[in-house]
Amino acid sequence: MKRAYSSIFKEPKLILNKMKKVLPLFSLVSAFAVMLSCQPKTEQAAETTTQSESSVEFSDLKVAFVLTDSVINKYEYFKTKSAELQEKGKKFESDLQGRARGFEQEVANFQQTGGNMTPNQQRAKQEELVKKEQNLMTYRDNLMQELAGDESTLYSEVYDKVQAYLKKYAEENDLDLILSYTRGGAVWYGKDALDLTDKVVEGLNQEFASEKPAAQ
């Protein structure tokens, strides 16, 4: 009479990604190449043609870097949206646990009282429970998919905001490159004077604060 059901009877847990490991939000520059035009060696004047303004020598590059993890973790927009996403995940988890407990109770009742049913009634109830279990699992998967989509959207928004700010910062401060400095990444060393992390975090948070609606 007893039927083995899946582990959905146990209270399922939605494990939220706590975002401790943030994907690098900036492209790493691994090498630089200076393209020099090839001039035919027909005249001495051609060999001494001055370099065009579009060409860049290594010594002319103005480079700085930011500590990627620090920028993200201290960015108030990211912290605010992450907290909202975690709260949403907790509500989903609570809802799913309630549904799972209700379903588990229904199965337990059937196991206790099913012996009083006719074979046709037992078969119909079993089919009903199987369908409810499948629906519950589908509901769980949909919740997890929604959270994953929200998280992906958040990463994309943060990428766009940080990239836009760094572009503006580079233009205002006459920088050619701003590198992403992550542990184990392409940048192994940089002088402290080239570290823009604190300035970038401060600027991003100022922008975010100015975008928030004034308190009523």
According to the model, what pLDDT value does residue 194 have?
86
Q: Is 70 helix (H, G, I), strand (E, B) or coil?
A: helix
pLDDT surpasses 90 at 153: yes
Sign of CA pseudo-dihedral 147, 150, 151, 152: positive
pLDDT value at 183 more than 70: yes
Task: Please say if the pLDDT value at position 26 is more than 70.
Answer: no
Q: What is the pTM of this model?
A: 0.64
Of residues 209, 153, 185, the one with CA closest to residue 66: 185
Q: Which of 87, 83, 78, 88 is nearest to 154 (CA)?
A: 78
Helix H or strand E encompassing 65 = strand 63-67
Note whether 172 and 88 are within 8 A (CB). Answer: no
The C-alpha angle with vertex 56 and arms to 53 and 62, in degrees rounded to 5, equals 115
